[in-house]
Amino acid sequence: MATDYSDQQAELRRLAAERDAVILAHNYQRPEVQDAADFVGDSLELARKAAATPQSVILFCGVHFMAETAHILSPQKTVLMPDPRAGCPMANMVTAEGLRALKAQHPDAVVVAYVNTTAAVKAETDVCCTSSNAVEVVQRFAKDQPIIFVPDKNLGDWVERQTGRKMILWDGFCPVHADIKAADIEARKSEYPEAKVMAHPECPRAVVDLADVVTSTSGMLRYPAGDAASAYIVATETGLLHRLNQMYPDRRFVAASLRSVCPNMKLTTLDTAITALVEGLNEITVPPQIRERAARAVARMIE
What residue ranges bind ligand 13P (CB under 6 A)?
27, 42-44, 63, 88, 116, 130-132, 174, 200, 202, 216-217
Chosen from ligand SF4, ligand 13P, none, partner binding at 131 (C-beta under 5 to 8 Å by type) = ligand 13P
Chosen from ligand SF4, ligand 13P, none, partner binding at 264 (C-beta under 5 to 8 Å by type) = ligand SF4
Residue 59's nearest CA partner among 28, 31, 93, 36 is: 36
The dihedral built from the CA positions of residue 16, 17, 23 and 29, taken in this order, carries a sign that is positive
The yes or no reply on residue 22 touching ligand SF4 (CB under 6 A) is: no
The yes or no reply on residue 81 touching ligand SF4 (CB under 6 A) is: no
The yes or no reply on residue 21 touching ligand SF4 (CB under 6 A) is: no
Instruction: Reduce the DSSP state of residue 295 to 3 states and report it.
Output: helix
Residue 207's nearest CA partner among 236, 228, 167 is: 236
Chosen from ligand SF4, ligand 13P, none, partner binding at 260 (C-beta under 5 to 8 Å by type) = none
The residue count for binding ligand SF4 (CB under 6 A) is 12
The yes or no reply on residue 219 touching ligand SF4 (CB under 6 A) is: no
Pairwise CA distance, residues 217 & 177, whole Å:
12
- Let me know: does 22 contact 58? Beta carbons within 8 Å: yes
- Our measurement of the distance from residue 15's CA atom to the centroid of its chain's CA atoms, rounded to an integer in Å, reads 26
Chosen from ligand 13P, ligand SF4, none, partner binding at 185 (C-beta under 5 to 8 Å by type) = none
The yes or no reply on residue 89 touching ligand SF4 (CB under 6 A) is: yes
Q: Which is nearer to ligand SF4, 215 or 264 (CB)?
A: 264
Chosen from ligand 13P, ligand SF4, none, partner binding at 42 (C-beta under 5 to 8 Å by type) = ligand 13P
Enumerate binding residues for ligand SF4 (CB under 6 A): 63, 88-90, 116, 174-176, 237, 262, 264-265
